[in-house]
Amino acid sequence: MAWEELKKTQPQLRIRDAARQLGVSEAELLVTTIGEKTILLDGNWAELLVACKSLGKVMALTRNEGCVLEHKGTFQKIELQGEAPYQVATVIGPIEQRVFFSAWKYGFAVINDTPRGTMRSFQFFDKSGEAIMKIYLQEKSNVEVFESLVSQYRHSNQSEPLTFVPFDKPQYAKEIEMDAFTKDWENIKDTHEFFGLLRKYNVHRLDAVKWIDDKWARQVDRLSARKIVETASAQQMPIMIFAGNKGNIQIHQGKVRTIRQMGNWFNVMDPDFNMHLNEEVIASAYVVHKNTEDGLVSSLELFDHEGEMIAQFFGLRKPGLPQLPAWKELIDTLS
């Protein structure tokens, strides 16, 4: 098959990149290995995620086209809200996430033999075959729990035909009443209210930051994340990084230390946290301000060539506390 030939010529090629070259989704390639190193799973994904707390220390990976976040730690606390299929989860601890199970379609257990030993993982995908989240076992993870979960959630039909369909492209407003929109923006009291504001006016997030007055959002150099992260590292300023996809948002909270530029990739390479930002994918960047009950909160937001969010950067703050003055000063230096 084409993938086998590709692996012969490019043995280090990652499955996501192979899928792109072959014009298929990552999950479609993974399905071809069922019965060899991949096991199709079935069941309640929320229950399976909660059960992953018993795996001990793992590496959780969430990505989109432009950004990958990897955290090593435990699933310390998982709170479920709502009912299936619209259940959501808040993951708090060394691994921090906001999970939207309505987008979860397929799950697999993957067991690969590598030069560094056997690599075990759970991998979850949406209906289009795009990866939502991957959970990789680490040296001290509980392999017995992994094997027990694989047995418990193993699909009864490993030959079950899987279909992958693209998501419908949402239709957004081409223009809105800007005076009313601006007034509502100014009256936000919590950053989470911003999502409701976008829904109220049926406006795309990128259009919102493009159309609003410069007082609230302004375009900056598309590679501004370099300055943000490098300065935060040099000053040991704690920051927050959000990146994700339709089914999961992963969040980094804390300091960053080791910064590496590798070709188009801008990387944080810390012991328990890695960020891989593909700068080639970044089409635009905006500084965005929102009011809260604790004062102004400012962020850097990155968008790809399709207008989709790649990542957000904030100064670390907790509810009830204003953002760090040093963070606001740093944001204000972006041009």
Q: What does each C-alpha distance from 302 to 204, 222, 305, 312 come to in angstroms?
A: 14, 7, 10, 6
User: Does 121 fall in a domain?
Assistant: yes
Q: Which residue has the tokens 């919102």?
A: 208
Residue with structure tokens 């996430």? 97
Could you tell me if 134 and 30 lie in one domain?
yes
User: Tokens for 269?
Assistant: 């390479």
Whole-number Cα distances in Å, 313 to 96, 118, 240, 333: 15, 35, 6, 15
CATH number of the domain where residue 249 is located: 3.40.1570.10
Residue 240 lies in a domain: yes
Structural domain boundaries, residue 217? 178-257+280-332
Are 148 and 197 part of one and the same domain? Answer: no
Q: What single letter denotes the amino acid at residue 86?
A: Y
Q: Which of 312, 313, 316 is nearest to 326 (CA)?
A: 316
Overall domain count for the chain = 2
271 within domain boundaries = no
Dihedral of the alpha carbons of 290, 293, 294, 300, in degrees to the nearest 10: -10
**Residue 18 confidence (pLDDT):** 67
33 domain residue, yes or no: yes
26 and 123 inside one domain: yes
Does any domain span residue 170? Answer: no
pLDDT by residue for the chain (335 residues), tens only, comes to: 675 766 667 776 677 776 677 777 889 999 999 998 999 999 899 999 999 999 999 999 999 999 999 999 999 999 999 998 899 999 999 999 999 999 999 999 999 988 888 999 999 999 999 999 999 999 999 999 999 999 999 999 999 999 999 999 999 999 999 999 999 999 999 998 999 999 999 999 999 999 999 999 999 999 999 999 999 999 999 999 999 999 999 999 999 999 999 999 999 999 999 999 999 999 999 999 999 999 999 999 999 999 999 999 999 998 888 999 999 999 999 98
Tell which residue, 248, 299, 317, has the closest CA to residue 68.
248
> What is the SS3 assignment for the chain?
CHHHHHHHHCCCCCHHHHHHHHCCCHHHHHHCCECCCEEEECCCHHHHHHHHHHHCCEEEEEECCCEEEEEEECCCEEEEECCCCCCEEEEECCCEEEEEHHHCCEEEEEEEEECCEEEEEEEEECCCCCEEEEEEECCCCCHHHHHHHHHHHECCCCCCCCCCCCCCCCCCCCCCCHHHHHHHHHCCCCCCHHHHHHHHHCCCHHHHHHHCCCCCEEEECCCHHHHHHHHHHHHCCCEEEEEECCCEEEEEEECCCCEEEECCEEEEECCCEEEEEEHHHEEEEEEEEEEECCEEEEEEEEEECCCCEEEEEEECCCCCCCCCHHHHHHHHCCC
113 within a domain of the structure (yes/no): yes
Q: Both tokens of residue 186?
A: 């100014």
Tell me what pLDDT residue 3 has.
Answer: 58
Is the residue at 262 inside a domain? no
- Co-location of 58 and 137 in the same domain: yes
Looking at the structure, do residues 65 and 127 belong to the same domain, yes or no? Answer: yes
Q: Which amino acid is at 229?
A: V
Burial class (CB in 10 A: 0-12, 13-18, 19+), 183: exposed
**pLDDT value for 266:** 98
319 shares its domain with 211: yes
Distance (Å, whole) CA 88 – CA 15:
28
If you compute the radius of gyration of the chain from its CA atoms, what whole number of angstroms results?
A: 21
pLDDT value of residue 7: 67
Tokens of 16: 């996501």
Judgement on whether residues 149 and 56 belong to the same structural domain of the protein? yes
Looking at the structure, tell me whether residues 182 and 324 fall in a common domain.
Answer: yes
pTM for this predicted structure: 0.95
